[in-house]
Chains A and B, each alone.
Chain A
């Protein structure tokens, strides 16, 4: 019994010693993480205050009245933002949209885009019809396989 108590005490001392040795490293890492988090939170605070400023400005802007001179394309009935998807009233990209996680639909659409292209025969006809020029043929293509 005495022997086992002595052994346990020895082990405890060993663990304590090891922890003390490692502590500075963990502290340093944790410090870095904390400062990163602080920076991030400061950034968010600044962004929010900018947003508020923009909001105040936009209340007085002519955009609210829909006064705009550039041509518009037709819009979908479900485009509630009058077609300005992803844009703040001040003409800047919505930070919220940038940070949102992507959906499976986004990835599927991107995959669809990756298959977009035209057949050589269609391109040739298009170039001929428009009296445009064809580039000299290339020997090989470096485009990776899609899938």
Chain B
């Protein structure tokens, strides 16, 4: 009987000691973790970490907009994307995909995941414009722009979203990140890409580097400029606000300002780059019967009417 009492007394004594000690040491552990976080925030992500965050971000992007399932068109976008990505400074494997939404935009996620929307493809009129848009996104990835934003946020302690908000974690504790960090970074990447500005310097850098990649690949260096000029004209009509809202001012500098700078920039490259309008029309044709259900479905009356004419002069 005495032994049992002694046992319970020891257990109680241990509990009494552990409880406050954990509170005391918690502070010390928190300090160590903070130090580790600051250290991690100053380190560039490894290719594996970048890939893990990129793929988790891609899943989120697909969840928000949907993936446009057209293998032939996606293959063509990958061919154009890889043609310009060859001239990037980092040996990264890029993956280009089409988002199933009418908005006009393109997004670059870490790890070489680049998305262009169905709405963008419908409004691009030749391959040099597509190359310009994709090259701009490649330049964001090449310059680790989104990664830098996330790492800066980590340093200043600004958390955009927590991992819990992202939902069930399937990618925690991998690639050298602590469990849940991949999802947290992916959430920050998506939030930054969809609702914030990269900053004028990063957009300027991406416009400059993107134009260079496209020109080096042999495309007309004015491709991105021409596409943005069309959008700038269309954006002045309030009826187009829904499709151009994200691109005009909120996540990017104002279109007119970019067009003006790109006009000067493209003039510095020799003329004579490829435009490839016919090849683009052959590969990106939403009205023609396509292998996919998406493109084979007839457009609604309103869209069919609208599809006959572009608003902006080029």
Contact of B118 among A73, A115, A122 (CB under 8 A): A73
Known: A17-B16, A84-B242, A89-B242. 4 other contacts (CB 8 A): A73-B118, A82-B102, A83-B303, A127-B217
Nearest to A129 among chain B residues (CB) is B279
- Residue numbers in A under 8 Å from B173 (CB-CB): none
Q: Which of B57-65, B136-144, B200-208, B259-267 contacts A (4 or more CB under 8 A)?
A: B57-65
Interface string of B13-42 (1 = CB under 8 A from A): 101110110011011000000000000000
Contact B24 A25 (CB under 8 A): yes
Nearest to A10 among chain B residues (CB) is B9
Contact A109 B101 (CB under 8 A): no
Identify the interface centre among A71, A101, A102: most chain B CB within 10 Å of its CB.
Answer: A71
Contact B300 A25 (CB under 8 A): no
B197 at the interface (CB under 8 A from A): no
Contact A93 B195 (CB under 8 A): yes
B97 at the interface (CB under 8 A from A): yes
Contact B102 A73 (CB under 8 A): yes
Q: List A87-121 residues whose CB lies under 8 Å from chain B.
A: 87, 89-94, 97-103, 106-107, 109-118
Contact A18 B20 (CB under 8 A): yes
A76 at the interface (CB under 8 A from B): yes
A residues apposed to B, CB below 8 Å? 4, 7, 11, 14-15, 17-19, 21-22, 25-26, 62-63, 66-77, 79, 82-87, 89-94, 97-103, 106-107, 109-118, 122-123, 126-127, 129-135, 138, 140-144, 146
Nearest to B119 among chain A residues (CB) is A73
Contact A133 B218 (CB under 8 A): yes
Contact of B12 among A11, A118, A135, A142 (CB under 8 A): A11
- Residue numbers in B under 8 Å from A93 (CB-CB): 64, 194-195, 246
Least CB distance, A102 to chain B, in whole angstroms: 5
What is the CA–CA distance of A15 and B15 in the complex, to the nearest angstrom? 8
Q: List B286-314 residues whose CB lies under 8 Å from chain A.
A: 286-287, 293-300, 302-303, 306-307, 310-311
Contact B242 A71 (CB under 8 A): no
Contact A71 B310 (CB under 8 A): yes
Total CB contacts across the A-B interface at under 8 A: 262
Nearest to B112 among chain A residues (CB) is A143
Say yes or no: A86-B91 contact (C-beta < 8 A), given A70-B240, A72-B102. no
Nearest to B298 among chain A residues (CB) is A74
Contact A106 B62 (CB under 8 A): yes
Nearest to A123 among chain B residues (CB) is B82
Contact B63 A133 (CB under 8 A): no
Contact B195 A91 (CB under 8 A): no
B87 at the interface (CB under 8 A from A): yes
Contact of A70 among B112, B123, B286 (CB under 8 A): B123
Say yes or no: A130-B95 contact (C-beta < 8 A), given A7-B9, A22-B20. no
Contact B299 A126 (CB under 8 A): no
- Residue numbers in B under 8 Å from A146 (CB-CB): 51
What is the CA–CA distance of A100 and B30 in the complex, to the nearest angstrom? 30
Least CB distance, B100 to chain A, in whole angstroms: 6
Contact of B167 among A72, A102, A113 (CB under 8 A): A102
Contact B66 A86 (CB under 8 A): yes
Contact B274 A85 (CB under 8 A): no
Contact of B65 among A15, A85, A110, A126 (CB under 8 A): A85
What is the CA–CA distance of A118 and B9 in the complex, to the nearest angstrom? 70
9 CB contacts below 8 A, A to B, read: A70-B240, A71-B123, A73-B102, A90-B241, A90-B242, A118-B75, A122-B79, A130-B218, A132-B83
Least CB distance, B218 to chain A, in whole angstroms: 4
- Residue numbers in B under 8 Å from A143 (CB-CB): 47, 51, 91-93, 112
Contact B19 A18 (CB under 8 A): yes
Least CB distance, B19 to chain A, in whole angstroms: 6
Q: List B229-254 residues whose CB lies under 8 Å from chain A.
A: 234, 237-246
Contact B93 A141 (CB under 8 A): yes
Say yes or no: A98-B191 contact (C-beta < 8 A), given A109-B59, A143-B91. yes
- Residue numbers in A under 8 Å from B112 (CB-CB): 143
